[in-house]
Amino acid sequence: MPNVNSRGTKGCCSAPNNALSADITRIYDSCADRDCLENLEVVFPEADAALIESACSVKAVDCDILTAYVDMDEVSYNRGCYAVECSYYFTVDFNVYQAGSSTPESVQGVCTFTKRSMLYGATGAVNTFSSADTAELPASVTAPVAKVQAMEPMVLGSDIVNNTVPECVQIPEAVNQAMGGTIAQNTGDQKIVVTLGLFSIMQLSRDVQVTLPAYEFAVPEKECNADNDSPCEVFRSFDFPLEEFFPGNGPACNACGCDKPMDYDGECPDNMRRNDRPNRR
């Protein structure tokens, strides 16, 4: 009996007719959040402990995401749902001022925030293995994959507060080593807290197989051209950044029309000015 695939094409190696099977990553559920992270306690290297203890004012000037750990657990009482937990670790740059001095000292500390959300990731009982797995004993994958996307945080405020109730800030060893291996807990009479704004997206996805219409191979049409022009010629090819000089003023309108910037020589991109265009009815 001949081998017939799901599309009705005979033979196990026959080319499909106008159809293509592909493995894609399907997003089953996602959520977007705008979190205001208030009064996060910041810990510093041991060498900066005395500086923080004697500081009279502080200003946070920058913040970056050092790393994030994403964990996921299946919710037993709601089949197909998963609790996704993301622990962020931020590096924050501060200007610390001492009493009687107008010149600040620059220090960098670490703070952390953990966010937890419940998302739907569907159910799957198929064990998935891959040849790309180089482990001696490959493990099967049956759960969805949790993914977190986040913008760099926005610094909203910072302050020095009394350390009346010392807290233990959990810092993984990898984060500690990235900061020089000397991060210490706040044990003095005062500590620094920071407030951050964070935009993030959490999502759960699975690899699924779908059938797509197939037209033709995507052959590149652009030539790989080695640009040997002089730096000035390359610079003149750039559009003038009107939006940088006049932000929030809507589309730039000129002789070329709206939202069609002129080049360095005052010409339109298609060498045709707005008044020279034929009238369209």
Say what the pLDDT of residue 92 is.
Answer: 97
Say what the pLDDT of residue 184 is.
Answer: 93
Pair 243, 149 in one domain: no
| Rounded CA separation 81/122 (Å) | 7
Do 141 and 87 touch, CB atoms closer than 8 A?
Answer: no
Pair 192, 146 in one domain: yes
Decide if 17 is inside a domain: no
Pair 122, 260 in one domain: no
Write out residues in the chain with pLDDT < 50, as ranges. Answer: 1-10, 273-281
Decide if 223 is inside a domain: no
Pair 126, 257 in one domain: no
Pair 162, 36 in one domain: yes
Pair 159, 42 in one domain: yes
Pair 86, 121 in one domain: yes
| Rounded CA separation 195/59 (Å) | 11
Pair 73, 196 in one domain: yes
Decide if 124 is inside a domain: yes
Pair 151, 263 in one domain: no
pLDDT in tens, 122-136: 887 677 777 777 777
**What is the tally of structural domains in the chain?**
2
Decide if 18 is inside a domain: no
| Rounded CA separation 164/188 (Å) | 9
Using a cut of 0.85, tell me whether the model's pTM lies above it.
no
* Residue after which a domain boundary falls, among 176, 210, 244: 210
Pair 153, 45 in one domain: yes
Decide if 7 is inside a domain: no
| Rounded CA separation 150/161 (Å) | 28
Decide if 141 is inside a domain: yes
Domain that holds residue 182: 24-210
Pair 115, 29 in one domain: yes
Pair 147, 260 in one domain: no
Decide if 89 is inside a domain: yes
Decide if 126 is inside a domain: yes
